[in-house]
Amino acid sequence: MRPGNRLNALLALFASFATAPSAAMTTLHTEKSLYRNILVYEEDGQRCMSFTRRDQTSRQSCQSLADPEQFVFTYTRMMMGALYLNPHPRQILIVGLGGGVLPTALARMLPDARIDVVEIDPAVVKVARQFFGFNPDQRVQVFEEDGRVFVKRAGKSGRRYDLIMLDAFDHQYIPEHLLTQEFLSEVKALLTADGVLAANTFSTSRLYHHESTTYQAVFGPFYNLRVKLKNRIVLTRLDGLPARDAIAANATALEEKLKLLGFGADWLLPLFSTERDWNPDARILTDQYSPSNLLNAAD
């Protein structure tokens, strides 16, 4: 065999090993819903939900089998930083369910809070209940509809929330109609006077600069939480960002509860930054200009 052919054969063999399913992986459930392909599997001590394939980039939710209450994903930990801006929300809206990690943790931490969860895919709701211990009740209600439709109706009915979390993803990225200035303005109208917004986005997205200018246009300054991996969390409060000492005081008060989730202020507080690391001239995303199919997802 020629050297070039031998090298190609070795590369092909390595690729087959790299992409082959792990022998330790156990598939629990597969389903093709109206919106996506859903896979639930166990591997490396975790139970995960994926919307496309079994890899790190497509996992929508994961749960530790040894300690289901501890957060597996970095982004869910960062989303809980919203409580540093308002530690006692009474009315909470979460757009996007996944495995139900966020509403389950918030319901446990905040026994007086009422939580509305919006999820477009009934199959995801079913899987979250069956495989991830998500149990809606009188305090946690699920609405199976499009997030933007829910927000529009909630605005017309005068509903208001102390905390809104945006965490809706399909198999590629955030649906484009949930990225625009018009949608974020509708979300803003649902916030109480000191209401807090937390939004999960990607720091590696080609939309990063556009998303940043869009959030700033609607909400003004925000805390921009980033890690070396791909997630970025936008945190802001309607009546203005609290000072660092107020955030630190809230962090201290919440420390015991967050430690039960597997992290604390020593990890989370240093991520709070108002430094602008995006192009301020990037075009704002609107209902007329939201080319997520061209500028989409990770590089």
Residues of the domain holding 191: 74-271
Asked if the structure places residue 278 within a domain, the reply is: no
- Tell me the C-alpha distance between 182 and 133, whole Å: 35
Query: Which residues, 6+ apart, have CB-to-CB distance to 149 below 8 Å?
Result: none
Distance between start and end Cα atoms, the chain: 37
- Return the higher-pLDDT residue of 193 and 228: 193
| Of residues 210, 143, 142, the one with CA closest to residue 176 | 210
DSSP 205: B
Taking each continuous run of H as one helix and of E as one strand, the counts in the chain are 10, 11
* Residue 167 annotated as catalytic: yes
- Domain containing 255 — which CATH number? 3.40.50.150
| pLDDT the model gives residue 42 | 96
Residue 26 inside a domain? The answer is no
**Is 250 domain-assigned?**
yes
| Position 288 in a domain | no
pLDDT in tens, 22-67: 558 899 999 999 998 999 999 999 999 998 654 444 688 999 999 9
Q: Is pLDDT of 10 > 90? A: no
Q: Helix H segments across the chain? A: 3-19, 74-79, 82-85, 101-109, 122-131, 147-157, 181-188, 208-219, 244-259, 265-268
pLDDT tens digits for 238-271? Answer: 999 999 999 999 999 999 999 999 999 999 999 9
Of 150-154, 174-178, 217-221, 290-294, give the lowest mean pLDDT range.
290-294
Question: Is 65 a domain residue?
Answer: no
155, part of any domain? yes
- 116, 121, 162, 167: the catalytic one is 167
- Which 3 state secondary structure label does DSSP give 80? coil
* Domains in the chain, number: 1
